[in-house]
Amino acid sequence: MAGGFRPGGQTLNINGMGDAEDVRVQLDGATKSFEKYQQGSIFIEPELLRRVTVDKGNYSPQYGNGGFAGTVKFETKDARDFLQENQKIGGFLKYGNNSNNNQKTYSTALVLQNEQKNIDLLLFGSVRNAGDYKRPDNS
């Protein structure tokens, strides 16, 4: 990860290349937008990730041309990943605190699945509130 220390300013960097056009980013098979004149950002709550794959190099038979540094592929979980075999309902709550900037993180999820296991639902929400970072000299 490169860029800023806040989630909205983080970018991906492969072999020293981290501009938006250098790293192809895919989320569940969809390529993230080309952001030529912006830093761009990539952030997803870790609880929602099933797998992250990094392919280095500018060409891949699977993804084609583009992304001089390579491709980062994010695969997200679906509702079934949060439930055990016989569960029909589930969820979680998460709270996080960062003492330096007093960042508070609140996340919650609700997961439902019908009896036939052919329909499922995943509702997820997250809120982050943070102040300014403090240097070691408290300035």
Q: Say how many domains are in the chain.
A: 2
- What is the C-alpha to C-alpha distance for residues 72 and 52, in angstroms, rounded to an integer? 7
Report field, pTM of the whole predicted structure over 0.85? no
Residues 62 and 87 in one domain: no
Strand 10-11 to 2-3 pairing: antiparallel
In one letter, which amino acid is 108?
Answer: T
Q: Is 58 left (phi over 0), alpha (psi -120 to 50) or beta?
A: alpha
Residues 66 and 17 in one domain: yes
CATH of the domain at 41: 2.170.130.10
Say if 18 falls within a structural domain.
yes
Say if 138 falls within a structural domain.
no
pLDDT digits (tens), the chain, 139 positions: 555 556 555 677 787 777 767 788 888 988 876 565 555 566 788 899 999 998 887 766 776 666 778 888 999 999 999 999 889 999 999 999 988 888 899 999 999 999 998 899 999 999 988 888 777 887 7
